[in-house]
Amino acid sequence: MKNFKKLVGAAMAASMVFAMAGCGSNNGGGGDTFKIGGTGPLTGGAAAYGQAVRNAAQLAVDEINENGGVNGYMLELNYQDDEHDAEKAVNAYNTIKDWGVQIVLGSVTSAPCIAVADKTKDDNIFQLTPSGTAVECTQYDNAFRVCFSDPAQGTASAQYIGEHNLASKVAIIYDSSDVYSTGIYENFVKEAEKYSFEIVSAEAFTQDSNSDFSVQLQKSKDSGADMVFLPIYYKEASLILTQANGMGFAPKFFGVDGMDGILSGVDNFDASLAEGVMFLTPFAATSSDANIVNFVKAYEEKFGETPNQFAADAYDGVYLIKALIEKSGVKPSDDVATICNGLKGAIVDYSFDGLTGSGITWSADGEPNKAPSVVIIQGGVYIEM
Amino acid sequence: MKALKVKMKSDKNLRSNLITFGMVIGVYIIMQVLLAAGVVSSLVRGLLVPLCTYAILAVSLNLTVGILGELSLGHAGFMCIGAFTSAFFSKCMQEAIPIAALRFTIAILIGALCAGLMGLLIGIPVLRLKGDYLAIVTLAFGEIAKNVINMLYIGVDEAGLHFSTKSSLELNLSENGTVIIQGAQGITGTPNDSSFTVGIVLLLITLFVILNLIHSRDGRAIMAIRDNTIAAESIGIPITKYKLMAFSVSAAFAGMAGVLYAHNLSTLSATPKNFGYNMSIMILVFVVLGGIGNIRGSVIAAVVLTLLPELLRGLNDYRMLIYAVVLIAMMLFNWAPACIQWREKMVYRLKSRKKLTKEAE
C-alpha cells in the first residue's frame, strides 16, 4: 500500500515535470496568416454569450478567407474557454499567446476582459473586445470595444426615455450582484436628473434571489410607477414580466441590450407578455437591412439558431479588424507591437459600417461612438422605433 | 527500548517532512532553471502563482478536515476575506508605500490576520456543532462572506473613507475621491505583486507551520479530539481551545492564499466561481483526492487538478467533460473499497514475487 502510494506520487511528479517542460514556448507571428485569438465562456452559466461570439467570429473569418483574405493574407481564429472567470481568462489568454496570437478579439464578459486587458497591455497586443462592457475593459490605449460601455447604455436609456417623454414615474429593478446591471443603473440615475421624469423606486435583487420578484414589483406598483426600467438579462426579465402580469401590474417596460433573447431564449415563457417591451439594442435579428438579413441567414444555416447581439458584435469585430489591417497595411510577419501600433493608429477617425450601426467611429480611449437604437416588441417581432 | 521507538518515530516524521519540503523546493529549482532557459510556455508561467495558491488552500483545509476531523465547506469564504482586506490595503497604500516588497508583506500579514480573526469569531459558535451541521453552517458562512462583499461600496477622498451598501452614488465622494470597492465589480487595479518565488515561500511557511503543529503536543491533542472527543475530554484536553486553534490557523492560511490570489490578477470580484461554494468544494476535492490528513498528498492533488483542465485545452469542447471523467475515475481509484482491495492485492502479489525471486537467489 505504502509502496504503491509512493509509486503513484512519483509517477505524478514525473508526469508533471514532463508536462511543464513538454509544452515549450511557441514562436509568435510569422507565416502568411493573421492569428486572431480570444477568450470567452464556452462552458458554464454564461456559455451562450461566449459561444455566440466564437461562432459569429468563425463565420466572419471563413467568409473573409473564402473571398481571398485580407490583402492576400488569410485569417486564423482560436477561441479559448475562460469559464467567465478572471483567473481562467488569464490562463486562456496565455494559451492563445503560446499559439502565437497577434490580435486579440476578446474577452466576451467584463471581469475576464479586465484581467486580460492587463496582460495585453504588458505584451502590447491589439485588443478589441466585442462585448466587454465595463469601463475598465478599455482603460489602456491598446484596447477598444465594439459594444456600448455600461455607462453609455445607462445614459442613453435615460436620454431616450427623457427625450421621448415615455414616462413620468420610473421604477428600477436591477441586479446588485452583477457589474453590468449596477453600472447601467448608476449611470441611468445620474443622467435622469437632467430630465423631467422622476425615479420613484429602485429595488435590487442578487443572483441568489433571482426567482421571486414579487416584493420588488409590489414596491414599484405602490410607488405609482408608469414605467419599469430593467437593466438586467432576459432570463430574470422574463420572470418579472410573468409575475407582474400575475399581480395585474402593467406598466411600460424598458430594457437594455441584455433583454435581447427574451422572445426565444426562455423555455415556457409566454412571449405575448413581452408585447410592448422596449429595449435599447444595437442589433435586431429581424431587421430588414440587407447585411443583417444575410448574416442572420448564414448564421442560422451554420449553427441552427438565431444570432443575438453578442454574435453581431463579434462579426463586426472581425470585419473591423479586417478593415484596420487594410487601412494600416500591417503584415502577418510584423511583430505584435508593430501590428498593435498600426491598428491603433488606423482605428482612430475610421468610420465603420457594420451590423451594430453605421458610421461608427472610435476615440483613442477605446469607446465607440454610435447612435443607440430602441426596438419595441410588437406581434412577436422587434420593430425599430 | 521505548525511547528508541519514539526516536525512530520522530525520525520517520522528519524524513517525511523533508521529502515534502524537498519536493516543493525541487519543483521550484527545476522551474527556475526552465524559466531561465526560456522553454516554459506562457500558459504554465501564468499558472505558477495559482498553483501555489491552491496548494496553500488545500494544505490549510487539510488541517481542518484531516487533522481536526471537521468538515468545513466555507474555506473559500476565508480566502475571500483575505483577498479583499489585503487588496483594499494595497489599493489604498499604493502611493503611500511605493516599495512593493514592504507593501506586499504587510498585505499578506493583514490578509492572514483578518481571515484568522474571522476564523476565530466564526469558530466560537460553529465548533459547538458536529458533522453535517458544522458543514452546513460553514457553507452558509462562505456564502455570507461573498454576498456581504458584493454589496459593499467603499470610497476614499480627502475627508476619509465613505461606506455604503446601496451604490457608489450614495458614497457622496468629492471630485477627486476614488471608489475602492465597487460592489459586485469588486476591486480593480490591485498592484500585481504576487510572484512564483513569493508563492513558494508562502507555501513553505504554510507547510512548516502546519506540519510542525501536527507533530507538536498541540497537534496530538487535536488528533485526539478527532479520534475520540469524549476520551480526549476525559483526560483533560480543553476541546474548545484546540478546536479553535486548528480552525483559525487553517483560516489564516486560507486568507494568505487569498492575498496571493488577489495580487495576481488586476481585477478582484467575489463571484460564485472564485469565492462561492464551488471553490470550497474544489478545495475539499483536492484534500480528499490527496488523502485526508496527508499534507503532501494535498499539495500534489492541488497541483495536478489545477494543471489538468489547462493541459486538456487541446481537447476544446470536450475539455470539461474529460476533466470530470478523470476526476471521477481518480476518486474511485483512490477511495472505492473494491479498488483499494484490488490495489492491495496487486501490491501483495508484487511483494511476494520479489520475495520469491529473492529466495530463489
Q: What would the DSSP string read from start to end of B97-163?
A: ---HHHHHHHHHHHHHHHHHHHHHHHHHHHTTS-HHHHHHHHHHHHHHHHHHHHH-EEEEETTEEEE
Residue B109 contacts A where some CB pair is shorter than 8 Å: no
Give the pLDDT score at A285.
80
Q: Do B43 and A91 touch (CB under 8 A)?
A: yes
The alpha-helical segments, DSSP class H, found in B263-294 are: 272-275, 277-290
Distances (CA, A) of B204 to A317, B44, B199, B307: 46, 20, 9, 20
Residue B4 within any structural domain of the chain: no
End-to-end CA distance of chain A: 73
Q: B89 in a domain, yes or no?
A: yes
Q: What is the pLDDT of residues A118-156, one digit of tens each?
A: 999 999 999 999 988 888 899 999 999 998 888 888 998
Q: What distance lies between CA A347 and its chain's CA centroid? A: 20
- Chain B residues in contact with A23 by the CB 8 A cut-off are 41, 43-44, 311
The pLDDT of residue A384 is 79
Cα distance between residue A274 and residue A379, in whole Å:
10
Q: At what angle do helices B277-290 and B42-62 cross, to 10 degrees?
A: 80
Give the contacts of B347 (CB within 8 A, at least 6 positions apart): A1, A3, A4
**How far does the CA of residue A199 sit from the closest CA of chain B (Å)?**
14
Q: Cβ distance B77 to B146 under 8 Å?
A: yes
Output the pLDDT for position A200.
Answer: 93
Q: How many CB atoms lie within 10 A of CB A239?
A: 16
Residue B215 CA to residue B212 CA, distance in Å, equals 5
Phi, psi of A103 (to 5 degrees): -135, 130
Region B217-243: mean pLDDT is 93
What domains does chain A contain, in order, with CATH numbers? 33-148+290-369 (3.40.50.2300), 151-281 (3.40.50.2300)
Contact call for residues A99 and A79 (beta carbons, < 8 A): no
The answer to whether position B9 is within a domain reads no
3-state secondary structure of B164: strand
Burial B325-351 (b: 16+ CB within 10 A, else e): eeeeebeeebeeeeeeeebeeebeeee
C-beta of residue A332 within 8 angstroms of C-beta of residue A284 = no
Q: Is the dihedral of CA B104, B105, B108, B110 positive or negative?
A: negative
The pLDDT tens digits of the residues spanning A212-221 come to 999 999 999 9
Q: Which of A80-89, A175-184, A303-312, B239-248 has the lowest mean pLDDT?
A: A175-184
pLDDT band at A263 (very low <50, low <70, confident <90, very high): confident
Confidence of residue A186 (pLDDT cuts 50, 70, 90): confident
pLDDT grade for A257, boundaries at 50, 70 and 90: confident
Whole-angstrom Cα Rg for chain A? 23
- Asked whether residue B13 is domain-assigned, the answer is no
Q: Name the pLDDT band for A272 (thresholds 50, 70, 90).
A: confident
Q: Is A289 exposed, middle or buried (0-12, 13-18, 19+ CB in 10 A)?
A: middle
Chain A nearest-CA distance from B22, in A, is 12
Is B161 inside a domain boundary? yes
B-chain CB neighbours of A129 within 8 Å are none
- Judged by DSSP in three states, B180 sits in strand
Confidence of residue A22 (pLDDT cuts 50, 70, 90): very low
Which residue range(s) make up the domain with B91? 18-38+47-360
Residue B319 lies in a domain: yes
Q: What's the number of domains chain B is made of? A: 1
Where residue A288 falls among pLDDT bands split at 50, 70, 90? Answer: confident
Question: CA angle B142-B147-B153, nearest 5°?
Answer: 135
Whether pTM > 0.90 for this model: the answer is: no
**Once rounded to an integer, what is the mean pLDDT over residues B258-274?**
90
Phi, psi torsion values for B171, nearest 5 degrees: -75, -20
Contacts of A4 in chain B (CB under 8 A): 343, 346-347
pLDDT in the model for residue A18? 46
Judged against a pLDDT cut of 50, whether residue B114 lies above it is answered with yes
Quickly count helices (H) and strands (E) in chain B.
14, 5
- Which H or E run contains A115? helix A110-123
Within a domain: B11: no
Chain A residue numbers with beta carbons less than 8 Å from the beta carbon of B41 are: 23-26, 94, 98
Mapped to the 3 state alphabet, what secondary structure does A57-109 carry? HHHHHHHHHHCCCECCEEEEEEEEECCCCHHHHHHHHHHHHHHCCCEECCCCC
Question: How many A/B residue pairs have CB atoms within 8 Å?
Answer: 144
Q: Which of A7-16, A51-60, A358-367, B332-341 has the highest mean pLDDT?
A: A51-60
| Cβ-based contacts of A86 with chain B (< 8 Å) | 265, 267-269, 274
How much is the average pLDDT of A162-168?
90
Contact between A21 and B168 using a beta-carbon 8 Å cutoff = no
Give the pLDDT mean for A206-227.
Answer: 89
**A19: confidence class by pLDDT, cuts 50, 70, 90:** very low
Distance between CA atoms of residues B181 and B84, nearest Å = 9
pLDDT at site B171: 82
Confidence of residue B145 (pLDDT cuts 50, 70, 90): very high
CB contact under 8 A, B343 and A1: yes
The interface pTM score, or ipTM, of the predicted complex is 0.87
A67 falls in which pLDDT band (50, 70, 90)? very high
At A280, which helix (H) or strand (E)? Answer: strand A278-280
Q: Is the pLDDT of residue A10 over 70?
A: no
Among candidates A384, A266, A308, which has minimal Cα distance to A49?
A308
Mean of the pLDDT values across residues A102-122? 91
Q: Does residue A2 surpass a pLDDT of 80?
A: no
